[in-house]
Each structure stands twice: as C-alpha cells, then as structure tokens.
Structure 1
C-alpha cells in the first residue's frame, strides 16, 4: 500500500540531511503569508483570529525549551513515536482578547513524512497555556507532543487555514 509503513525503524532518527530546509532558520522570520519560525530561545508575534468574530489580537509566543522525554518521566501511556515537551510563554500584547488553543491544532512535519497532529492531553503539571488571554495577560507552561521522531518542525494553526507559528524541534 502506497504511503503506509509498518517498518520497525519508524522511531529511528533521520540523518541530518533529511531535515527540512526551513528548520535551519537562525531565529524568527516572517515572509509574506508565512508563519514566523521560532527556534528555542526566540519569540515572535502573530495575529490570533477569533473563530466567532474574526477579530484579531496580537499574541507573543516565546519558545523557552524543547526536550524529548520518556513516557515514565511524564506518567503517560506509550507514545506512537516519542514524547517531546515544549515550554512556551504566551502573552497578549493586543487590545482585544486572544486565544491560544494548541490541542488539536499542532502538526509535526519533517523529511518524507506527511504532516500529522501531535499535541496530546498529557500534562507535566505546569500551568496550562491553552487559554483565552485578556490584554496584558501571560502564562508559561508545557505542551506534551507525541512526535514521530526527533527533529522536524511543529506548526500551530489557530483556525485560519495556514500555520500561525512554526517551532523548530531539536535534532537531539
């Protein structure tokens, strides 16, 4: 069957040459109609669009860290790939309420793999960043992802059809 694989090496990390080109960005970038690309330690802003009113609020996201963990480290079940924990700080810099809801709206892609949803409902016990933020509000917390392998990029879609932000995942 084309596109399907039952290979036992699905968890084997790809060689560095199979990393998508956009992963090599040094920091946040934004081209016309392209999502800002964040590496660990960087931040970027984007316009969060209300799904009901279509009003925009400016949210700033700081990508504090990313690490790969075992299921026992986060008291979780068996992953489909491997668990990664990303720590984000979300701040509403706008004058209207803005939402950041990552669960169900984050997709990983890398190499020859099809983009796939990766946010889980597992928690590390930190403050949740899945919330609606009033102007000036901020929260820092972890999101547990189940990614196919190390590396790649995770994009966040706030419902506008195109990625709002892209997080470059570490290769190690």
Structure 2
C-alpha cells in the first residue's frame, strides 16, 4: 500500500472515530446557538491589515496569529521517509456563513476560512494535506476534527510542493465555537506540525 493510500485509510479511520464521538456527545440546538452562531451585523472576520508583512514567530511561541510565519516538517506525499522543511504564513481568519462559502450545508458549529500561504523552503518535495488532519480545541473542549469538504475560490493549498513552490488559499473548517486553536497534524496521532490561534 503506498503512502497516500495509508494516509487516506488512516484519515478515514480517524473520521469514523471522530464521527462516533461527535454523535455520542452532540449538543442540542439550544447549545449550538450559544456555542458559535454569528450575530447579524457582527464583524465576521479578524484579518490581516492591508500592507501588513508576515512576521516571524518568537522562539517558544505556541500558536501563530494572523500575519505570523512558522516552519514545519512535511513528508513528500509518496515516500514518508523523505522529509523537507515547509513554511506556513497565516494570512487571515474569517468566520463565515454557509452562503459565504457557497454551500447549503449547515456547519455543526461555526464555519471559518483559514487563509494560509504554504511554501516549500526545503530541498525535497513536501505535502500539505489538511483534510482529516486539522483539529480545533479550546480550554473547555478536547480536540475535534475541524475539516470539511467545502472549498472557496482561489488557489488550493492541499498539494505536493516542489522546492521553492508556494500557494495561498483558504481552508474551510467547521469549529465548535469562536476562539480556541486549530492545529495541523502531519499524521494520525502525531504532535501538531503547527497551531493557529483563532480570534473570538
């Protein structure tokens, strides 16, 4: 079984477990509204300031904020033994409605579009595969799968990057509520490759 097939099988197993946990622990409608529904007329985004340049993350920082850049190690997508250095810059975080992401599907919590620039700064190909590998959590709620099949217009960041290649695009997530953090895991059960602080 090749690396991609193993990752896909592992992702599906994780989704089945997450689905079972969510089904067993889902909240009623009265909690859903309090947990993350946007108020009409409320600001929907926390985004970069025009002309803002990405700033590096201070040593020891636990989570990236909008405008910050961090590094992580990725595998090449075909051979898990080949690793390379990648860079991620958080361009914006925008809470969204189903209409904002062009869907009629309702989120379980709150849609958010996380716009990232992913760049291969190493010397081998490296993959960024967010589906099934991004988790949301906060002080009250344990890590939950936040990925969706929804997409937004623009470049797709879910790709294999050759050295020097980059892409900027949005990843549509479904988080329990505003705030908390979103982490990318390059494998099931792995430590986070990077973490993004979500605005309230």
* TM > 0.5: yes
Deviation at 1:53, TM superposition (A): 3.5
Under a length normalisation based on structure 1, what TM-score does the superposition of the two structures give?
0.82
User: Which structure shows the higher strand fraction?
Assistant: 1
Contact persistence 2:134–2:183 (CA under 8 A): yes
Q: In the alignment, which of 164, 171, 174 is matched to residue 136 of structure 1?
A: 164
Greater RCO, 1 or 2 (C-alpha within 8 Å, sep 6+) = 1
In structure 2, how many angstroms separate the alpha carbons of the residues matched to 1:157 and 1:48?
10
| 1:154 aligned residue (167, 182, 186) | 182
Higher helix fraction (1 or 2): 2
Q: CA RMSD in A?
A: 2.3
Q: Which runs of 5+ in 1 are unaligned?
A: 15-25
Could you tell me how far apart the structure 1 residues matched to 2:112 and 2:148 are?
10
Mapped contact 1:27–1:39 kept (Cα < 8 A): no
SS of the equivalent of 1:73 reads helix
Indicate the residue corresponding to 1:42 in structure 2.
68
Paired position in structure 2 for 1:64? 91
TM-score, structure 2 normalization: 0.71
Q: Which runs of 5+ in 2 are unaligned?
A: 1-23, 37-54
CA contact (8 A) 1:27 1:38 kept: no
* 2:125 is equivalent to residue 103 of structure 1: no
Q: Which runs of 4+ in 1 moved over 6 A?
A: none
